[in-house]
Amino acid sequence: MTEVAFTRCARQHLTARRISSYTILGFTGYVIANVVGVVLASHWDLSLGERLVAFFAPPIAFIVVVTISSAIAGHERIVFYQTAVAGVATAVLIGWLVGAHVGRLLDVVTLCIGSFLVFGRIGCHSVACCHGTLGRGVTYGPPHVAVGFWLRWSGRALWPVQIVESIASGVLVLAGLAWSDEPGRAALIYVLGYAAVRFVLELVRGDGKRPYARGLSEAQWVAVGTALACAAWRPGIVTGAFAAALVAGAAVLVIRRHHREVLLPPHLFELDRILSTAADGERHETALGVAVSRHLLPDGRIDWVLSSNHCCWSESSARDLAYRLWPSFELVPGRTTGVIHVLTLSGMLPR
């Protein structure tokens, strides 16, 4: 496929001892974040109490949030945006209770978290978590599939959203530092900028184990919420414009959610589970009303019969769905309206 020429396969390990690059980069990010924190705390003359809050409140909040989230999910679940908001909120709350200079405390905590994310997202990129949807930029192979990457996208080019987010985080940290003369402004720049970047990147995120509501991902709702919080904290033209833009974007996605929901990762993963267990002649249906049955043809190909009563179902949507599920296929409209045949090679995706 021509897209392969524009991709690069990610590496899972950085050392001869095969230590996970995710682990190495995570610890590197943590160390760098602490160095940044020490320098900023000294430069802005934070008191000992403020420094203790800045360095200990976010990690404690991280542990608490991950523990609770994992217990609810039944498996380890680490969501950056969730833990970052909890860390910042905890530091601000404790800082306010002890009479700290909240503006500068918020700057330090936010820029430290942003510095960590620069390396953390590169780690995510290396092990295929938080990955993008089909596009150009990076490919993942069997080693990544072995640790949970979706088999259907093995060897197929994806948008490198983790790298984009890493670069964006670094740029926002530098921008915050450049315009940090007023306490709280650095944090404001980073939080607003990150909310906008994350909201857009979520449109091309491809990992399916994330909750969606009304057509928006969890992170997109958080982005809108943080932008509104910034506008309420520091009312102004810029903060108001950012908040209004994200609210408007969210409104559009909510209104058009039925046009997108069939192609969103949660539905793709649900359909994949059905396809992997379908036997000849059996008909299964997803929660969104997309039905599928499997039939083996005399020439050895498989005829996947797709149909749906979904309001936005069409030949075009069926083609987009098939493109995301099979690297190669032939699409044939059925004689009955709404029925689409997707012909694939037998054994295209061995399990």
pLDDT for the residue numbered 349: 55
CA distance 301 to 348: 10
Contacts of 170 (CB under 8 A, 6+ apart): 114, 115, 118
DSSP 99: T
Q: Whole-angstrom Cα distance, residue 316 to residue 292?
A: 17
Q: Say if strands 8-9 and 340-345 run parallel, antiparallel, or are unpaired.
A: unpaired
Low-confidence spans in the chain with pLDDT less than 50: 1-7, 14-17, 350-351
- Sequence-distant (6+) residues with CB within 8 A of 287 are 267, 270
With vertex at residue 98, the alpha carbon angle to CA 97 and CA 99, rounded to the nearest 5 degrees, is 95
CA atoms within 13 A on the CB side of 316: 3
Q: How far apart are CA 204 and CA 133, in angstroms?
A: 5
Query: How distant is the alpha carbon of residue 170 from its chain centre?
Result: 18
CA-CA-CA-CA torsion sign (293, 294, 297, 299): positive
Place of tokens 């682990």: 23
Specify the pLDDT at position 2.
29
Q: Under a CB-based contact definition with an 8 Å cutoff, are residues 93 and 53 in contact?
A: no
Confidence (pLDDT) at 6: 38
Q: Read out DSSP for 131-161? A: -B-EEEEEE--HHHHHTT--GGGTTS-E--H
Who contacts 279 (Cβ-Cβ below 8 Å, separation ≥6)?
294
What does the block give as tokens for 6? 């524009």
Alpha helices in the chain (DSSP H): 21-43, 48-73, 80-97, 102-127, 142-146, 161-178, 185-201, 218-233, 237-255, 257-260, 265-277, 315-325
pLDDT tens per residue, range 265-275: 999 999 999 99
Confidence (pLDDT) at 332:
94
How far is 336 from 164, CA to CA, in rounded Å?
44
pTM: 0.90
296 forms bridges with which residues in the sheet?
302
Residue 10's pLDDT is what?
Answer: 54
Query: What tens digit of pLDDT does each residue of 7-62 get?
Result: 455 555 544 445 678 889 989 999 999 999 999 999 999 999 999 999 999 989 98
Q: Which residues contact 92 (CB under 8 A, 6 or more apart)?
A: 102, 105, 106, 109
pLDDT value of residue 217: 96
